[in-house]
Amino acid sequence: MEIQPGERVKVTFWHAMGGVAGEAVQRLVDQFNSSQDKVEVEAVYQGTYDDALQKLRAAGSDGPTIMQVYEIGSRFMIDSGMITPMQNFVDADGFSIDDFEPNILGYYTFDGRLYSMPFNTSTPIVYYNKDAFREAGLDPERPPRTFEEFKEYARKLTVTQGGETRYGASIALYGWFFEQFLAVQGAHYVDNDNGRSARATKAIINSPEGERFVTWLKEMVDEGVAINLGRRTADTQAAFSSGQVAMTLDSTAALGNILNGVGDKFEIGTAFLPRPEGAAEGGVIIGGASLWITNTKPLKEQWAAWEFVKWLTTPEVQAEWSIATGYFPVRKAAYDQQILKDWHAQRPQFTTAIEQLRASPLNTVTQGAVIGTFPQARQIVEAAMESVVLGQATAAEALNAAAAEITKGIEDYNRTTQ
């Protein structure tokens, strides 16, 4: 839709990026606004992803034109009736998405159509202390690849000296990590191909793969080669950066923080997530958020929003965004930008994340589950993991109960939205 000469269409963009990422968002918005005179974007920070979604629900037609929503809010957004699928703009504008990372587009593609534009994308990787590896007689260039190796390495890396213990590992009891370890074993989270061939009706997290992961965590904690620091990655990250633990799991987007936190105390290595010996070939699922265009605004405003979204996906902007935040560029051409090449040369650890993403087969396992109650499901899984690690329930008991509770939530949600 053509914007008339002399006309400037105003677009409101609600986001959930605080701190450094929030500053980067504002910088990009200012750059876009000064680069042309047809569209003016106003970025408004709305707190956490949960806060932002609650505000969107309450706002109705007073909401934004562009909304940033975390990946696990996708089912809700599709069912909300409030959005225009991104595919509509892609098709009408003849916009090519051939250069976009398929594993990133895959998450936000439903029934073959792209519903939202990936914006900030990350996956988890293993971070490890190369100096500690050397001290323990382990090859710092050969990180553990299997559950069994990881546990063996953790044993060798655990050292007590003068009443102080350095633990081999610490993995946060975080629902996102549970989802990843199902996926690396090739297992679904919910039925109907993760809710992608038909609407999900039940959770299937109480699978051998789910039990295997939670049991592995408990065994390492029980043996004293891993320390349980709870659900927050901020705590495991602090323990790793201080040298209290030698291996941990965190988002690729945490790399900058970890490099700053460690400084020159030790050399940092990064690795793919381990999987059990003989597990099915799986891969990682992306995390982060995407941009949705709402249909509660006039078409002209929606098209103006598309102009901004399209600009955000240019290789130059994607390279700048990746450097500022540590998130993946959504398109491959961004990696040809000299500024990104230079940045990666200084941070070779980030290459692990790109390789792991591209090594993951694109299928319904790695596309991720689609359910309307995902935020609640994540909390339920975290409580289940905690109860197992603390010895309050077996893996089977905890995951059976969690699956039943998540299934009830899915049933209630489906009843009210269909």
Coil, strand, or helix at residue 39? strand
Asked if residues 102 and 367 have their Cβ atoms less than 8 Å apart, the reply is no
Distance of alpha carbon 121 from alpha carbon 119, whole angstroms: 6
CA distance 215 to 13: 43
Instruction: List, for residues 335-364, the tens digit of each pLDDT value.
Output: 999 999 999 999 999 999 999 999 999 999
- The candidate with the shortest Cα–Cα distance to 217, out of 397, 394, 384, 388, is 388
Distance CA 338, CA 404 (A): 51
Instruction: Sketch out the chain's domains with CATH numbers.
Output: 9-121+286-359 (3.40.190.10), 124-283+373-417 (3.40.190.10)
Give pTM, 2 decimals: 0.94
| Average confidence score pLDDT of the chain | 96
Across 92-107, average pLDDT: 96
Query: Where residue 2 falls among pLDDT bands split at 50, 70, 90?
Result: low
Q: What is the mean pLDDT of residues 381-386?
A: 99
Res 254 pLDDT > 70: yes
